[in-house]
Structure 1
Amino acid sequence: MTAFVLVSGGHTGGWIWRDVAARLRSAGAEVHAVTLTGLAERRHLAGPRTDLETHIEDVAQAIDHVDASEVVLVGYCYGIYPSAGAADRRLDRVARLVYLDSPMPQDGCSMLDQVREQMPQGAARERMLGMRERADAGGLVPAPTLAEWQAHGNLAGVSPEALARLARLASPMPVGPCEQRLRVSDAVAALATTGVFCTTGGTMDIATLEGLVAAGLPLVQHLADPRATFFELATGHWPMLSTPDELAGVLLRAAAGEGHRLAAPAAAHGGA
């Protein structure tokens, strides 16, 4: 049996996977939706020492408590950082690492480092880089208001009911995990991976990634590995809320090794 360990992003928790988890379980999968320390129903555990290492240990412990022999680890948005760190510590347990509308974490970089270096200029970027200034004395960034979700959340496809639930259940986010630099080995890049791009309002899709690989960008060359697969969802940044059926189907296909594969650069074949 395949087990999915689902790791959400900032201001949310395991509750956000409710509909996707139900569909995966109905297909016979084991599902564990992780709530990171300091978020959602674990918000009371947040403190000045809550950092990325705390969240990596949360995910590693979730993997340790899986009964199935194969774990498909799904990191969404910020959640890919603790997921990558935990995968590096549990290489023998993780069969596939899924990047769900998330960046590609790099050793030695924090989430905010990568936002600063890679995210296009705009209000969303500036809002993320201003987390420390918005944090309270305990290092907690207040949850967005409904108006702020609507302005900055890329909520394409999310129903009014789902948006209301998001705004109601959102929790403060510890800023420490976003500032701490991730430390991972090269073994993480060697794992079987799947990237899922949400293309409505997004900045990356399969065609763009193929162009980066073809251009020889070193950061993405390993993604031409046959074990790396890719999917697109025509929705905004919250597919677990907007298209849970489609997302569950994509995750099941990813676990089976399906998906689009990138062509290796011509130079790798000695092409002209």
Structure 2
Amino acid sequence: MTAFVLVSGGYTGGWIWRDVGPPLRAGGAEVYPVTLTGLGDRRHLAGPETDLETHIEDVVQAIDHVDADDVVLVGYCYGIYPAVGAADRRPGRIARLVHLDSPLPQDGRSMLDQIRELMPAGEARQRMLGLADRAEDGWRVPAPTAEEWRAQGNLAGVGPEGLARIARLASPMPIGPATQPLRISQAVAALPVTGVFCTVGGTMDIAALEALVASGMPLVQRLAGPGATFFELATGHWPMLSTPDELAAVLLRAAAGEGHRLAAAPAA
């Protein structure tokens, strides 16, 4: 049986997967949403010492407590960083690593490092790089208000009920996990991987990734391998709230090894 371990992003918790769980279970899978330390209903456990290693251990423990043979590890947004870190520590347990509208973490880089180096200049980049400046007591970033979510959260497809849920349940985000560099080995690169792009208001899709591969960009060449597949969802950055049934269908297909495959870059 396939088990999905679902890792949420910043300010959120396992609650964001509430509408995705039933269709995944209906497809015969087990579902294990992860709430990272200091977020969601574990917000009271946050402290200045909470960092990326804390969150990696959260995901490692979730994997270790799953009995299923095939673990599909899904990292959403910031959640891909602890997911990749946990996959590096338990590569033998991971049948597939899914990047859900999330970046491609690199060894030695923190989330903010990658934003600084790779994200195009603009309001979103400046807002993300200003996280530390907004931190209360030097370590805890307040959750956005409902108005800030509406203006900056790429909520395309999310209705009023979904926005109300985000505003009500969002928690402060410890800054440590965003600033601590990720440390991983080549074990992650050997895992089967799937990317899911949310294309409404997003900055990346399959065609753009194919262009990067064709350009010879070293960072993405492994994504043209036979173990890498890709999907697009015509929605904003919160598919688990805007299109949960469609997202569940994509995750089940990803677990089965389906999806678009990229062509390798032409030889120089």
Q: TM-score, length-normalised on structure 2? A: 0.99
In 1, the alpha carbon distance for the partners of 2:89 and 2:21 equals 25
Deviation at 1:266, TM superposition (A): 2.4
Q: What is residue 194 of structure 1 aligned with on the other side?
A: 194
Q: Secondary structure at the match of 2:108?
A: coil
In 2, the alpha carbon distance for the partners of 1:266 and 1:139 equals 46
What is the aligned-residue RMSD (CA, Å)? 0.9
Deviation at 1:8, TM superposition (A): 0.4
In 1, the alpha carbon distance for the partners of 2:138 and 2:266 equals 52
In 1, the alpha carbon distance for the partners of 2:144 and 2:21 equals 25
Contact 1:47 1:138 in 2 (8 A): no
Q: How many pairs are equivalent?
A: 268
**After superposition, what is the alpha-carbon deviation per residue over 1:148-205, rounded to whole angstroms, capped at 9, x for unaligned?**
0011100000011100111000000000000000000011111100000000011100
Contact 2:78 2:111 in 1 (8 A): yes
Q: What is residue 174 of structure 1 aligned with on the other side?
A: 174
The alignment status of 1:19 with 2:28, answered yes or no, reads no
After superposition, residues 116-135 of structure 1 pair within 5 angstroms as 116-135=116-135
Deviates more, 1:229-238 or 1:117-126: 117-126
Deviation at 1:231, TM superposition (A): 0.1
In 1, the alpha carbon distance for the partners of 2:187 and 2:243 equals 32
Q: Secondary structure at the match of 2:31?
A: strand
Q: Secondary structure at the match of 1:189?
A: helix
**After superposition, what is the alpha-carbon deviation per residue over 1:24-57, rounded to whole angstroms, capped at 9, x for unaligned?**
0121101100000000100000001000000000
Runs of 4+ in structure 1 off by over 4 angstroms are: none
Q: What is residue 93 of structure 2 aligned with on the other side?
A: 93
Residue type at the aligned position of 2:245? D
Contact 2:7 2:76 in 1 (8 A): yes
Q: What is residue 82 of structure 2 aligned with on the other side?
A: 82
The alignment status of 1:236 with 2:236, answered yes or no, reads yes
Q: Which runs of 5+ in 2 are unaligned?
A: none
Q: What is residue 161 of structure 1 aligned with on the other side?
A: 161
Q: What is residue 265 of structure 1 aligned with on the other side?
A: 265
Residue type at the aligned position of 2:118? Q
In 1, the alpha carbon distance for the partners of 2:61 and 2:55 equals 10
Contact 2:37 2:43 in 1 (8 A): yes
Contact 2:98 2:196 in 1 (8 A): yes
Q: What is residue 35 of structure 1 aligned with on the other side?
A: 35
Contact 1:20 1:244 in 2 (8 A): yes
Residue type at the aligned position of 1:202? G
In 2, the alpha carbon distance for the partners of 1:173 and 1:125 equals 17
Deviates more, 1:134-143 or 1:250-259: 134-143
Q: Secondary structure at the match of 1:31?
A: strand
Deviation at 1:138, TM superposition (A): 5.6
In 1, the alpha carbon distance for the partners of 2:138 and 2:70 equals 38
**After superposition, what is the alpha-carbon deviation per residue over 1:80-115, rounded to whole angstroms, capped at 9, x for unaligned?**
000000000000100100000000000000000011
